[in-house]
Amino acid sequence: LAESGAYNGSGFHRLVPGFMIQGGKAKVKAESSLWGPAFADEFDDRLSHSEAGMLSMANSGPGTNLRQFFVTFKACTYLDKKHTVFGRVVSGMDVLREMEKVPTEKKTDKPVHEIKINSIEVLTNPVKKAEEKERERIEERVQAKQIKESNRGGPAKAPKALPVSTKISSGVGKYLSQALKKKAKDGKADEESDTVRRLPPPPKKTKYSNFSGW
C-alpha cells in the first residue's frame, strides 16, 4: 500500500497523548487491505510495544487487520499479542514528540490541527525479500530431492522365471520335471527376497485499548 501511494496525503485521525497516534484511514467507508479482505494477526515474541516509536497495526479484534496503523508515544506492552508490530521509528523522534503535543477534540481524539503524511518512500521492502528467499528455499529443496532420487535410483527389476513344464511324465522324466519345478519355485522366492532387499528404505517421519470503531 505504501509503495502504491495509498497513504500519501492521508491524515492522522486519532491522537491520545501518553498513548499513541493513529492513521492510515481510507477516504472511503469500506476499507480494504492490500489483499482486499482483512488479514490475520502476525505475532512474534521478538517484537513488542516496548518503547515509544513502535509501529503497529490497528484493528477491531483478532484477525481484522486492514490498513490502519498507530505509532506509540510510550511503552504499551499490554498490546502485545493483540496488535501486530511491524516497524519502529529509527529517526525523527523529536517530530513524534511534537505530534504528541497537538491538542485534540475531546469527543473524537481528532487533532485540532491537521497532521498528515505527505508521501512515503520505501527504501527496502522486506516482503519482497522474504518472497525471494522463500522462492530460493523451495527451488533448493526441489533440486536436492531430484539429486537424491537420481543417486538412489529405482528398485532393480527381477529376472524372469524359467519356464517349467506342468506335464508330469512317468519314469526318470517324472523326477526331472519335479526337480525343475522345485528349482523354479526356489528361484522365485530368491528373486522376491532380493527384490525386497533392493527396495529403497521408507521415508522417516518428521514431524490497550480497543481500536474498534476507529
Active site residues: 14, 19, 22, 59, 70, 79, 83
Contact between residue 88 and residue 53 where contact means Cβ atoms under 8 Å apart: yes
Strands 12-16 and 54-57: unpaired
Of 5, 200, 39, the C-alpha closest to 118 is: 5
Q: Please tell me the distance from the alpha carbon of residue 142 to that of residue 138, in angstroms, as a whole number.
A: 6
Residue partners of 43: CB distance under 8 A and separation at least 6: 80, 81, 84
Q: What is residue 23's three-state secondary structure?
A: strand
Q: Please tell me the distance from the alpha carbon of residue 88 to that of residue 142, in angstroms, as a whole number.
A: 37
Radius of gyration from C-alpha coordinates of the chain: 35
- What grid cell was written down for 179? 526337480
Q: Please tell me the distance from the alpha carbon of residue 39 to that of residue 84, in angstroms, as a whole number.
A: 11
